Amino acid sequence: MNVFVLNCGSSSLKFQIIETDADLIEKDADRQLAKGLIERIGSEAIVTLQVGDNPPFRGAQPLRDHKAALAHVINWVMAPETHIPGISGLSDIHAVGHRVVHGAERFKGSHLIDKSVIAGIQECIDLAPLHNPANLKGIFAAIELFGPAMPQVAVFDTAFHSTMPETAYLYALPYQLYRRFKIRKYGFHGTSHRYVAFRYRKLTGKQRKETNIITVHLGNGCSACAIRGGQSVDTSMGMTPLEGLMMGTRSGDIDPTVIEFLMHKEGTSVDEIFSTLNKRSGLLGISGLTNDMRDLEGEAEEHQDRRAILAIEMFCYRVKKYIGGYMAILNGTDAICFAGGIGENAPGIRKRILGNMEWLGVEIDDGRNAKAIRGREMLISSDTSRVPVYVIPTNEELILARDTVRAVKSLPFPG
Ligand code: ADP
């Protein structure tokens, strides 16, 4: 089957076309046929489109909404000069898989989209006002443009964490608030943590039940996950993606009193404060320079910029603290796995996070660590390290495509 994987953000659309099916999954032989990204939807959009490993096409195009952006992609996919192997018409796309950010307690796995699933995603908007509406725009646009007969599947970021126990997911608030409003930790990046755990099993030959690891996704958004017996038992993001680690522009954990304090001191509205916590904090907020880790490392190294150094130190300190906490709740860990743009490409950051943890059995091999860049799956710990450390480049789109096939063909879903 050729699956069109769609990931819609508030002003962006990412897609991949992946050839996959039960036998290809079995052989790990799925094939990415094309991919692309449209940014700044709503104005002069920036379009990047690529077939296989060919050089990408980049251009600008006025695209007023997600439907116009998807129509642009479909026209490109179908154009005879595009030449995507195996695709000459719309009938060569067999299903669409959507990334949906928040599934709350309702969605514990991936689902074939029908009216009730759409209503369920709409009900979760309260919990994810920034994300679910964009995901729904993608779903509605795809139903319209691919036609109602095209099977569409929703894959939720929260689903992998639905196995967390109450002890981990409840906030210590009056219990009625959980009962009435479902205020609790849900966790995100679930497809990424799930993919990394799956690859860890492939690399080590372990069974799901034997998978006791810590996965750390460090991109623009960052989260850590404690996995016991192949299932998520705790994760750092919360009811929304704002909780937990320090991120590119998000604060991560803060004392909630800061919000009230700022409201009084500066007369700022709640919306304005949350905008600061989501968009002007984290690496950007502390450095005052950028949310981009590459640039921060450059500033720290070339100009010894004090706040760039501070931002990097705080970032790594927070990750170390979560890893330490998860080692405690897991009774030790069989491995630590890094993913995400920073986790996959920044040896200096990985070293800083896991330095001085020899007493916990973690020893980084500097040579291996330096080589683990640009999407290389690698062991980066020394041979004497009691806890192996891996870099495992994430591939959320592959999980989306595979779950789409499974949902369409009623195949079982592995975790
Ligand atoms: P998103 O969460 O938006 O998918 P990514 O996973 O692509 O983001 O990660 C983006 C982050 O990865 C940025 O902070 C970027 O600076 C960082 N990054 C990418 N390459 C490198 C590198 N070579 N060294 C350090 N940081 C990097």
Tell how far the Cα of 221 is from the centroid of ligand 1, in angstroms: 9
Residue 103 predicted with pLDDT over 70: yes
Contact 193, 233 (CB under 8 A): no
Would 185 be classed as within a structural domain?
A: no
State how many domains the chain has: 2
Residues 182-196: tens digit of each pLDDT: 999 999 999 999 999
Whether 248 lines ligand 1, by a CB cut-off of 6 Å, is: yes
**Residue with the nearest Cα to atom 7 of ligand 1?**
341
pLDDT of residue 253: 98
Same domain, 152 and 213: no
Same domain, 69 and 218: no
**Residue with the nearest Cα to atom 13 of ligand 1?**
292
Contact 344, 294 (CB under 8 A): no
Residue 22 predicted with pLDDT over 70: yes
Q: Could you give the residue numbers annotated as active site?
A: 157
* Of 181, 168, 132, 332, the residue nearest 244 (C-alpha): 168
Domain boundary among 156, 187, 216: 156
Buried b (16+ CB within 10 A) or exposed e, 254-273: eeeeeeeebeeeeeeeeeeb
Q: Is 297 exposed, middle or buried (0-12, 13-18, 19+ CB in 10 A)?
A: middle
Would 344 be classed as within a structural domain?
A: yes
Contact 342, 220 (CB under 8 A): no
Beta bridge partners of 6: 15, 98
CA distance 282 to 290: 10
Same domain, 261 and 355: yes
CA distance 37 to 49: 7
Over range 29-44, report the average pLDDT.
95
* Reported pTM: 0.95
Contact 113, 139 (CB under 8 A): yes
Over range 249-277, report the average pLDDT.
95
Q: Which two tokens stand for residue 89?
A: 């018409």
Ligand 1 nearest-atom number relative to CA 349: 25
Would 47 be classed as within a structural domain?
A: yes
Would 188 be classed as within a structural domain?
A: no
CA distance 34 to 82: 10
Whether 241 lines ligand 1, by a CB cut-off of 6 Å, is: no
Would 123 be classed as within a structural domain?
A: yes
Whether 230 lines ligand 1, by a CB cut-off of 6 Å, is: no
Q: Count CB-CB contacts under 10 A for residue 207.
A: 10
Q: What is the dihedral of CA 114, 117, 123, 126, to 10 degrees?
A: -110
Range of the domain at 330: 207-391
Would 234 be classed as within a structural domain?
A: yes
Would 338 be classed as within a structural domain?
A: yes
pLDDT of residue 243: 97
* Of 7, 154, 13, 5, the residue nearest 93 (C-alpha): 5
Q: Which of 345, 369, 392 to mutate to test the pocket of ligand 1 (most atoms within 8 A of CB)?
A: 345
Same domain, 231 and 322: yes
3-state class of 46 per DSSP?
strand
Tell how far the Cα of 343 is from the centroid of ligand 1, in angstroms: 8
Over range 61-86, report the average pLDDT.
95
Residue 151 predicted with pLDDT over 90: yes
CA distance 32 to 18: 4
pLDDT of residue 374: 85
Same domain, 141 and 30: yes
3-state class of 377 per DSSP?
coil
Same domain, 257 and 328: yes
Q: What CATH code is carried by the domain that includes residue 375?
A: 3.30.420.40
Same domain, 245 and 314: yes
Tell how far the Cα of 133 is from the centroid of ligand 1, in angstroms: 25
Same domain, 383 and 258: yes
Residues 232-261: tens digit of each pLDDT: 999 999 999 999 999 999 999 999 999 999
Over range 124-152, report the average pLDDT.
94
Would 227 be classed as within a structural domain?
A: yes
Q: What percent of the chain has a predicted confidence (pLDDT) above 70?
A: 100
Whether 340 lines ligand 1, by a CB cut-off of 6 Å, is: yes
Same domain, 273 and 214: yes
DSSP 265-291: HH---HHHHHHHHHHS-HHHHHHSS-S
**Residue with the nearest Cα to atom 4 of ligand 1?**
219
Same domain, 74 and 219: no
> At 415, is the pLDDT very low, low, confident or very high (cuts 50, 70, 90)?
low
Query: Residue 18: enclosing H or E segment and its boundaries?
Result: strand 13-19
Domain boundary among 117, 135, 156: 156
For 338: left if phi > 0, alpha if psi spans -120 to 50, otherwise beta; the answer is beta
Same domain, 122 and 212: no
Same domain, 237 and 138: no
